[in-house]
Structure 1
């Protein structure tokens, strides 16, 4: 599904290649939409694309990445292709991200911050369930030092 969406949104998109440039662009994107920079801890990125007109973003990495957010004790899996529609404080129609809840992996379809002053970020599922965590759990380590 993601590959077709990417094809549909490539025209007019900013597209970047190369691991270090892609990593920087993924951080720039999170900063631009005011979400914590540690939200997408992807490795070996090979392509990042952003269609500002439609708000569609994609990130391609060589392999799937598993990451543990220690502050909240949650494992999250990122497929080799992650896509979303972005706007300020929000990622909608997210694909390629799953969180481990007890014994099963749950797809995450939305990430948002309703009130930036609350210090809370919410993760929603396609079934309409959601969980809220402290934004601080998703900041990059360097960001914490600067506060």
Structure 2
């Protein structure tokens, strides 16, 4: 695509090979507050990220279709996917389509209701949108990582001793 120019590549962190690209793409999704299973790609040959603009691209050997079983939605990922990422949002998305009834609909934005994401909203270029639980896009067996906050042990003992 014309979006990945030599200028863009000169400013980017670029990785090659499925294993490292899988790791980097999942890490990036996690860093921006989105589920790690949102991009279930296979045989990734290249990925790149320009930190100053948030521009990211992923190239895989061939188109991949994936069904998110928890919501019954089929999604198609082109051999080349590009986007701009920011906290809790992917915008200017290319290369991703979702099947709605019998029609494939282009998606151009995915946003979360805040970290940690409880719901994800998927938007089309025409402004149509659908919202789904973020847990539907978790990696199978990984689950949502919830931070458990417990009071420090000395606070509970202070409360008892003050009575």
TM-score, normalised relative to structure 1:
0.94
> Which stretches in structure 1 are left out of the alignment for 5+ residues?
none
Q: In structure 2, what is the equivalent of residue 108 of structure 1?
A: 107
The DSSP-based 3-state class of the residue aligned with 1:26 is: helix
Residue 116 (structure 1) shift? 3.4
> Which stretches in structure 2 are left out of the alignment for 5+ residues?
147-163
Runs of 4+ in 1 over 4 A off after TM superposition: none
Q: Give the number of the structure whose alpha-carbon radius of gyration is greater.
A: 2
Query: Structure 1 residues 117, 80: CA separation in 2 closer, same or farther (over 3 Å shift)?
Result: closer
Q: In structure 2, what is the equivalent of residue 93 of structure 1?
A: 92
Count of residue correspondences: 145
Q: In structure 2, what is the equivalent of residue 18 of structure 1?
A: 17
TM-score, normalised relative to structure 2:
0.85
Residue 100 (structure 1) shift? 0.1
Q: What is the correspondence of 1:1-147 to structure 2 with a 5 Å cutoff? A: 3-7=1-5, 8-116=7-115, 119-144=118-143
Residue 142 (structure 1) shift? 3.0
8 Å CA contact retained: 2:135, 2:144: no
8 Å CA contact retained: 2:17, 2:45: yes
